[in-house]
Structure 1
Amino acid sequence: MSVTESLHIVRRLPEPRALLTLIKPITWFPPIWAYLCGVISSGVSPLNNWGLVILGMVLAGPVVCGMSQAANDWCDRHVDAINEPHRPIPSGRVPGRWGLWVALAMSALALGMGAFLGPWGFGATVFGVVAAWAYSAEPVRLKRSGIWGPGLVGLCYEGLPWFTGAAVLAAGAPSGPVIVIAALYAIGAHGIMTLNDFKALEGDRQTGVNSLPVTLGPERAARVACIVMALPQLAVIGLLLAWGRPWHAAAIAVLLLGQFWAMRILLSDPKGRAPWYNGTGVMAYVTGMMIAAFALRMIGGAP
């Protein structure tokens, strides 16, 4: 009998603090921020729709993102036993099938809340819930791919919440420029997710998860991640210039220059510097997202 199995037998109920750790509050910020970017870019006053704004923030962050984290931890419990044995499930602090029950209950809660956001908001919620399980669960488990896995997470962390916020406020499909900018930032987020895979490098190797750090090695994977993050932002800058928003484009360009500086430091020690970059370069990235949202608002986000 393993230590983990014995812990599961001893503890029948999960620790409350471990349940909070399971849904990882630190991960809620990106989708909430992206949802707010969508709200701003819609061109509709959030003050007159504050209920939808708050509901969407709670849905995007604590509920859908929290659910995705619980589902991922449950499906990754064997990998986490190698990479992070202190995590709630492998440590036994969330015993038995509690991780699965939490993920399923939060999936149902997400769908119920999404129904109050209208057809576009509900459709986006359904997509987000299905994507969370497709990323983590067998037999699909898109996490095994270093291309599709980070791409799906980037889409659900940045693009989908942005689209949802704009659609909910506009009560319809967002405008073409909003969709394009949201898609570009979602593509760039693929690089951010690739850097996030560095922390699970050893466990991924042992369990057959073909992340880019595993298949390309840390150095090449970091270079690919930097290129993937930078090119969409260059496209955003070009589009904002074409749409007559030079000051917004210039502000994003300055933030991108700061990211280039941070990328040089990252590339000097990709595995060691990846967590540092996630706290510096990524902040500049998401700041640019909000600047782009205000630019879209001035252009006219609603169709």
Structure 2
Amino acid sequence: MTDSRPESPPMSESKPLSAELETANDQGSKEGSKARQLLGMKGAATGDRSIWQLRLQLMKPITWIPLIWGVVCGAAASGNYTWTIEHVLIAAACMLLSGPLMTGYTQTLNDFYDREIDAINEPYRPIPSGAISVPQVIAQVLVLLGVSMVLAFGLDLWAGHAFPSVAAIAILGGFLAFIYSAPPLKLKQNGWLGNYALGASYIALPWWAGQALFGELDWQTMVLTLFYSLAGLGIAVVNDFKSVEGDRQLGLKSIPVMFGITTAAWVCVLMIDVFQLGIALYLFSIQQKIYAVILILLVIPQITFQDMYFLRNPLENDVKYQASAQPFLVLGMLVTALAIGHAA
């Protein structure tokens, strides 16, 4: 009798499952690296990039999110935002101002002045890798700043402001970005001043813009958000851990360089938690007790992720920690904004 079973292919012709898995993993790693590259995250790819990909990478889209959220919080705190098409479009324009334009300007400017540090810490960045020229970077900085100012004045015209408050906030943000990155002040050389300027730019300024656009920006809210920005200082410190080696070589006094990795990690998490709890106490004092309790409940998972990831290995787990814990911080900002809007 003849065997009717199909012949098995020779071993040399079949692809081992382990090889297929390895190929798939490599492909997934490359795709993930490309995504990180476009978002401006650590661990980017170094392959061919178009000029527009390079410009987007300089603007670090991953950093736009807190600024966009800050506008949402300001609008909520105004107590006057309504879900009409007009308000939605105006809010979107303010988000464009705070996120892609002003933050894109800030990040591009920072990369320009940090090109020597990035050559050590992140040599794949567009400028140190030589993928984009310095004149092209300068042009990008000027265009982003110019469009930002035009849009800010346009928003003031829509709101009917006698004093151009949104434009003034944008000018302040542009000035802070410059002295943060550029000599002779270069605030980022000082871990405390630089990170607080960053925290205020991420929390207070977009909040002020959103609230001024839809309502009245009072001094109490300005003081409260500047206090809240001390929690933002802690978030800013998280970003310093990826640059420890370059900062140390170039004499920048970041928190991790000054205090060491372990102590800096504790400084970071305590700043984040303590000042949020301080905001909760303020909400209790203005009789917004439900919002205060919600804010406290949002701090609890942050503490959990701090223990799980950040305090154990801040150098390796900084991105993982931010992805897991930062959503609770931004939700807490919105809870605070809603409380202020409700109390108004």
Q: TM-score under structure 2 normalisation? A: 0.80
- Kindly, what percent of the aligned residue pairs are identical? 32
> Do residues 277 (structure 1) and 321 (structure 2) align?
yes
TM-superposed deviation, 1:298: 1.1
CA distance in 1, matches of 2:256, 2:139: 32
Encode CA deviations 1:233-273: one digit per residue, 9 max, x unaligned. Answer: 11111111222222211111111111111222221222222
Q: Select which of 74, 83, 90 maps to 1:38.
A: 74
> Do residues 181 (structure 1) and 224 (structure 2) align?
yes
How many correspondences in the alignment? Answer: 286
Which structure would you say has the larger Rg?
Answer: 2
Give matches, 1:148-187, under 5 Å.
148-170=193-215, 172-174=216-218, 176=220, 178-187=221-230
Q: Select which of 51, 65, 68 maps to 1:29.
A: 65
CA distance in 2, matches of 1:275, 1:98: 30
Give the corresponding residue for 1:124: 169
Give matches, 1:47-62, under 5 Å.
47=84, 49-62=87-100
Q: Select which of 90, 97, 102 maps to 2:135.
A: 97
Give the corresponding residue for 1:137: 182
Where structure 1 has 5 or more consecutive residues not aligned to the other structure, the ranges are 1-12
Structure number with greater CO (CA < 8 Å, separation at least 6) is 1
Asked whether the 8 Å contact 1:120–1:173 carries over to 2, the reply is no
CA distance in 1, matches of 2:219, 2:182: 34
Letter in 2 for 1:206: Q
CA distance in 2, matches of 1:245, 1:96: 51
Encode CA deviations 1:176-210: one digit per residue, 9 max, x unaligned. Answer: 2x334322321110000001111111111111211
Give the corresponding residue for 1:74: 112
Q: CA RMSD in A?
A: 1.6
TM-superposed deviation, 1:225: 1.0
Letter in 1 for 2:293: A
Asked whether the 8 Å contact 1:159–1:186 carries over to 2, the reply is yes
Q: Select which of 65, 70, 75 maps to 2:103.
A: 65
CA distance in 1, matches of 2:286, 2:74: 18
- Kindly report structure 1 stretches of 4+ aligned residues shifted beyond 6 Å: none
Give the corresponding residue for 1:146: 191
TM-superposed deviation, 1:96: 3.4
TM-superposed deviation, 1:175: 6.0
Letter in 2 for 1:35: V
CA distance in 1, matches of 2:108, 2:302: 31
Any idea what SS the aligned residue of 2:191 has? coil
